[in-house]
Amino acid sequence: MNTINQPHKFSTPGVRRLARGLLIGAGAAFALVLSPALRRRVALTGAALTMAATSLLSAQPAAADTTYPVYVTFDNVKFTMVNDGSCSNPLVWDCNDTTLELYGTVGAYTTAGAVSAGGLPYRLFGKWASHPCETNWGSSWGTTCTKEVNVGTYDFTKVFLCDGSYYQTCSTAYYKYNNTVGLQVHAGEQFKVTVAMQDYDATSANDNVCVTYQWFGPYTAAQLQAKTYVTDAQNKALMMPFNGDAECWVAYHLS
């Protein structure tokens, strides 16, 4: 078959690669993105391709496609107050329940939505609203168990976290050291750093024990390049004041 007469046979990914090459605007980069076979065909049908690429070029201005990587790392959660029920036994002076049965989510995404985090903006521990078993925060087993948590600090590298496209459900298996969400941020977009943790209660509604968020931006391209959000994050605490069930602080950083 004569490829000169078959310009429409170019695969869409091939044209996309070509368009990207043109957007970069460098001849060398242009050559690199083409396979040898495609390069031969380009030589034969350059005119047809230039037209296709030009239409793509006008449809997608290069500036709008520029994204800047922002990494949101959740360091730890610190519970400074905890109350999981008062003691009703008058003969026992200190039998209040100070252990939370914890499950929850941390996450980050831009105003563009989940796509800004590769479709997986959330990291979940335990299983939302369920209590199949109990274990401790750093346990090597019981990924879906609630975590027994008291007043204290709990490091997000030590707990099993799965990735989620939705804040209440896992889309992947659970891993440790899975406490960073990578974002692709466009100039002019805002992004949100968010946490939602609950205490499981068998005989009453589950309680919010750490629910809070912070918005960042919008930033200009120059600000994203200069990473001004790194210092901004140091002035934006993720904390929930005592609500009758708990008070929490979530340490995080941006890079």
Task: For Ca ion, give the closer residue by CB, 101 or 247.
Answer: 101
CB of 230 to Ca ion, least distance (A): 36
Measured over the CA atoms of residue 95, residue 98, residue 99 and residue 100, the dihedral's sign is: positive
- What is the x/- site pattern for Ca ion, positions 93-132, by CB under 5 A? ----x-x-x-------------------------------
- Indicate whether 155 belongs to the interface with Ca ion (CB under 5 A): no
- Indicate whether 189 belongs to the interface with Ca ion (CB under 5 A): no
CB of 100 to Ca ion, least distance (A): 6
- Indicate whether 136 belongs to the interface with Ca ion (CB under 5 A): no
Task: For Ca ion, give the closer residue by CB, 189 or 247.
Answer: 247
CB of 142 to Ca ion, least distance (A): 16
SS (H, E, C) the chain: CCHHHCHHHCCHHHHHHHHHHHHHCCHHHHHHCCCHHHHHHHHHCHHHHHHHHHHHHHHCCCHHHCCEEEEEEEEEEEEEEECCCCCCCCCCCCCCCCCEEEEEEEEEEECCEHHHHCCCCEEEECCCCCCCCEEECCCCCCCCCEEEECCEEEECCCCCEEEECECCECCCCEECCCCEEEEEECCCCCEEEEEEEEECCCCCCCEEEEEEEEEECCCCHHHHHHCCHHHHHHCCCEEECCCCCEEEEEEEEEC
Task: For Ca ion, give the closer residue by CB, 28 or 202.
Answer: 202
Query: Measuring CA to CA, how many Å separate 253 from each of 16, 230, 242?
Result: 36, 7, 23
Task: For Ca ion, give the closer residue by CB, 163 or 207.
Answer: 207
- Indicate whether 201 belongs to the interface with Ca ion (CB under 5 A): yes
Residues 6 or more apart whose CB falls under 8 angstroms from that of 135 comprise 141, 142, 145, 146, 147, 148
Task: For Ca ion, give the closer residue by CB, 199 or 247.
Answer: 199
Per-residue burial over 110-125, b if 16 or more Cβ lie within 10 Å, else e, is bebebebbeebbbbbb
CB of 200 to Ca ion, least distance (A): 5
Near Ca ion by CB under 5 A, which window of 21-29, 47-55, 81-89, 231-239?
Answer: 81-89
Instruction: Figure out which of the listed residues 53, 84, 128, 192 binds Ca ion, where binding follows CB under 5 A.
Output: 84
- Indicate whether 247 belongs to the interface with Ca ion (CB under 5 A): no
- Indicate whether 148 belongs to the interface with Ca ion (CB under 5 A): no
CB of 233 to Ca ion, least distance (A): 30
Task: For Ca ion, give the closer residue by CB, 91 or 205.
Answer: 205
- Indicate whether 163 belongs to the interface with Ca ion (CB under 5 A): no
Total residues interacting with Ca ion, rule: CB under 5 A: 7
CB of 245 to Ca ion, least distance (A): 6
- Enumerate binding residues for Ca ion (CB under 5 A): 84, 97, 99, 101, 199, 201, 207
